[in-house]
Chains A and B, each alone.
Chain A
Amino acid sequence: MARVVVDVVLKPEILDPQGQAIVGALDRLGIAGVSDVRQGKHFELEVEDSVDDDALTELADTLLANPVIENFTIHR
């Protein structure tokens, strides 16, 4: 068993209204110097050793992320 992490973030060309809301809140917090925030999702999977990289890619590409609007990275 191993822990595999998959991070999913909206593609750069897709507007991220939630990220923009966070930037707005940072202003009110009094922290200057953060010009942009892109928010995303972080998945932690407990995976048996028999699951190969192809299966993990398929899992991320078909369920965890929507490749039309999101990019993902797998950390094994």
Chain B
Amino acid sequence: MPVRVGVVSFPGSLDDRDAMRAVRLAGGDAVPLWHADAALNDVAAVILPGGFSYGDYLRCGAIARFSPVMAAVIDAARDGLPVLGICNGFQVLCEAHLLPGALIRNRLRKFVCKQQRLRVESTASPWTAGYREGEELVIPLKSGEGAYVADERTLDDLEATGRVVVRYLEENPNGSYRNIAGIRNEAGNVLGLMPHPEHAVEALTGPGTDGLRFFLSLTGADAAGLQR
């Protein structure tokens, strides 16, 4: 049985279809979840996709956090359900306090859209088990409010406990503190990152397939054995 992975669509989500496609390419069963539904339909994991949920009104992710589906996601995440937040999904996870810190406007005020080099700093999460520590990846980054900020104590704690998952290489694209591109919670089941691994799952449409293993790590499938 393929692993059932729920992908939430909020009004204004953009990358829910790509996230579902990535799940399928990784051998999983992509289950669409609607923001107004409180049920998670027995999924084994949830992805909060990129986009502009509720128009990014008030603050990115601030309204989405109070949607019915998020009440269920927050409860399930606290019980260990794997949750991956990509871009806007990362912002939602921070607003929901499932991850510490916040994401603010890029330092140079420009929307950044580029192939971003990253380094994997930690693999202790169901979403990153298929990577090696220190491995370098190229994954698209496309965001206007992607600068990760937190107080010094939180940043020190994230570093000391190995919860910085991916870091920007080369020039810092958005002013993120300590070049942080993605973090996880203490238990490891909740992961948020600004770059878009779901846009790097096929050679035809992305810079490569460096993002696919986020999804393969979760499904446990073998990339070489999958039918394309």
Q: Cβ of A17 and Cβ of B109 under 8 Å apart?
A: yes
Q: Cβ of B102 and Cβ of A21 under 8 Å apart?
A: no
Check B178 for interface membership: any CB of A closer than 8 A. no
Complex contacts, B151 vs chain A, CB 8 Å: 13
Q: Cβ of A63 and Cβ of B106 under 8 Å apart?
A: no
Q: Cβ of B102 and Cβ of A15 under 8 Å apart?
A: no
Q: Cβ of B105 and Cβ of A68 under 8 Å apart?
A: no
In order of increasing CB-CB distance, the 8 nearest A-B pairs are: A68-B102, A69-B102, A17-B109, A17-B105, A66-B102, A66-B59, A17-B107, A21-B109
Q: Cβ of A68 and Cβ of B150 under 8 Å apart?
A: yes
Check B208 for interface membership: any CB of A closer than 8 A. no
Residues of chain A in range 53-73 having any CB-CB distance to chain B below 8 Å = 63-64, 66, 68-69
CB distance from B179 to the nearest CB of A (A): 15
Q: Cβ of B108 and Cβ of A17 under 8 Å apart?
A: yes
Kindly report which residue of chain A lies nearest to residue B103, judged by CB atoms.
Answer: A69
Query: Residue-by-residue, is A15-53 near B (CB-CB < 8 Å gives 1, otherwise 0)?
Result: 101100100000000000000000000000000000000
Q: Cβ of A69 and Cβ of B104 under 8 Å apart?
A: yes
Which size bracket describes the interface of B in this complex? 20 to 34
**Contacts A21-B109, A68-B94, A68-B150 known; A15 to B58 CB distance under 8 Å?**
no
Interface residue from A13, A18, A66 paired with B105 (Cβ < 8 Å): A18
Check A1 for interface membership: any CB of B closer than 8 A. no
Check B207 for interface membership: any CB of A closer than 8 A. no
**Contacts A14-B104, A15-B107, A21-B109 known; A66 to B62 CB distance under 8 Å?**
yes
Kindly report which residue of chain B lies nearest to residue A69, judged by CB atoms.
Answer: B102
Complex contacts, B66 vs chain A, CB 8 Å: 63
CB distance from B149 to the nearest CB of A (A): 6
Interface centre among A10, A13, A15, A18 (most CB of B within 10 A): A15
Complex contacts, A69 vs chain B, CB 8 Å: 102, 104, 149
CA distance A68 to B147 in the complex (A): 14
CA distance A10 to B66 in the complex (A): 22
CB distance from A71 to the nearest CB of B (A): 13
Q: Cβ of A64 and Cβ of B102 under 8 Å apart?
A: no
Interface centre among B94, B149, B175 (most CB of A within 10 A): B149
